[in-house]
Amino acid sequence: MDSSPPKNSSVSQTLVAQLNQSQIYRDYEKAFRETTGLPINLRPVETFNLPHSGDPNENPFCALIAKTNQSCAACLQLQRKVETQARFEPKTLKCFAGLCDSAVPVRVGENLIAFLQTGQILLHHPKKHEFKALTRQLINWGVETDLKRLEESYFQTRVLDRKQYEAALRLLTIFAQHLSSLSNQLMVSSQQVEAPMVTRAKTYISEHQDEDISLRQVAGAVNTSAFYFCKMFKQATGLTFTDYLARLRVEKVKNLLLNPHKRISEAAYEAGFQSLSQFNRVFRKITGEAPTAWRAKLPHQA
């Protein structure tokens, strides 16, 4: 399975920026901060900076540590490691000071687009001997800092038991699934300024999505060649015609399946899929799971 971000990196960056600005993300971010007291950040893949720098809930100890070159480098290395290991499932690692940092992947089908991150907590109450060992490590690195202030902030670090922290990560995992669905919708209905030809093509595709339509047919409907249409449509949407049509149909299937009496096969054919094998393959590619597994998560069918 391909774990790379969408091939058009600018589209991926734009998508994550749109998610950060969405009302659903801002509402969840506020609720998560107020409920848990933890930092939270949604970051694109391959972002090389500390995720919680300047966060309202940033751990004061971590903020002090980040000001020194050696310890900051250690924190950056940890971030790179946790993101590398969290490409398919949530991952938690401990830094050199014993604090936990976690990343939850946000995927759109086979593509990894972002991480939801939190952490900067201890899973046990800090001990004097642990801070002494930490101090020795910093001295070995040649770090110059106010040790008294550092000690005060270290012993003020938020402490959660493992069960509490795992519950917070489950909340992020559930939210990552919502962001994945929202990402798919954003990719279908791009907010980019587009050529009138592309707008007309989208309208035509939407009106005929339940039919067996082809790229050549849509190009003809908007009075252009298949080659030019293919080039312009991909440039405007970041998707090929085939991928765009597939995502449009999958969104229709999802809406149809909100009716608990609608059979999956019925929804697939109503949305325009020509066979169940094609539908199952496309649905899994776009959502990352089988239709039955996706439907089982709906509240009225859980």
- Residue 2: inside a domain: no
- Residue 40: inside a domain: yes
- Residue 35: inside a domain: yes
Counting residues of the chain whose pLDDT is more than 90, the rounded percentage is 54
Task: Specify the CATH number for the domain of residue 274.
Answer: 1.10.10.60
Say whether both 248 and 203 belong to one domain. Answer: yes
Q: Which domain holds residue 147?
A: 9-186
Q: How far is CA 190 from CA 34, 163, 184, 228, in A?
A: 32, 40, 10, 20
Closest CA to 107 of 1, 233, 234, 239: 1
**How does pLDDT run across 180-205, given as a tens digit for each residue?**
888 877 776 654 556 788 889 999 99
Task: Give the amino acid at 275.
Answer: S
Per-residue confidence at 266, pLDDT binned at 50, 70, 90? Answer: very high
Q: What is the mean pLDDT of residues 234-248?
A: 90
Residue 100 CB contacts under 8 Å (≥ 6 apart), including other chains: 92, 93, 94, 119, 120, 121, 122, 123, 165
Say whether both 145 and 214 belong to one domain. Answer: no
What per-residue confidence (pLDDT) applies to 296?
A: 87
- Residue 213: inside a domain: yes
What per-residue confidence (pLDDT) applies to 6?
A: 42
What per-residue confidence (pLDDT) applies to 302?
A: 45
Say whether both 152 and 208 belong to one domain. Answer: no
Say whether both 142 and 231 belong to one domain. Answer: no
pTM higher than 0.85: no
Say whether both 161 and 209 belong to one domain. Answer: no
**How does pLDDT run across 112-157, given as a tens digit for each residue?**
889 999 999 999 999 999 999 999 988 888 887 788 999 999 999 9
- Residue 267: inside a domain: yes
- Residue 250: inside a domain: yes
Q: How far apart, in whole angstroms, are the C-alpha atoms of residue 230 and residue 84?
A: 35
- Residue 77: inside a domain: yes
Task: Specify the CATH number for the domain of residue 161.
Answer: 3.30.450
- Residue 38: inside a domain: yes
- Asked if residue 109 has pLDDT above 70, the reply is yes
> Widest CA span of the chain, in angstroms?
76
Sheet holding 111-121, edge to edge: 41-44, 111-121, 100-108, 91-94
Residue 204 CB contacts under 8 Å (≥ 6 apart), including other chains: 218, 221, 222
Angle value at C-alpha 162, between 166 and 51, nearest 5 degrees = 60
Say whether both 240 and 109 belong to one domain. Answer: no
Q: What total of structural domains would you count in the chain?
A: 2
Q: What is the mean pLDDT of residues 49-69?
A: 87
Say whether both 33 and 56 belong to one domain. Answer: yes
**How does pLDDT run across 80-105, given as a tens digit for each residue?**
899 889 988 999 999 999 999 999 99
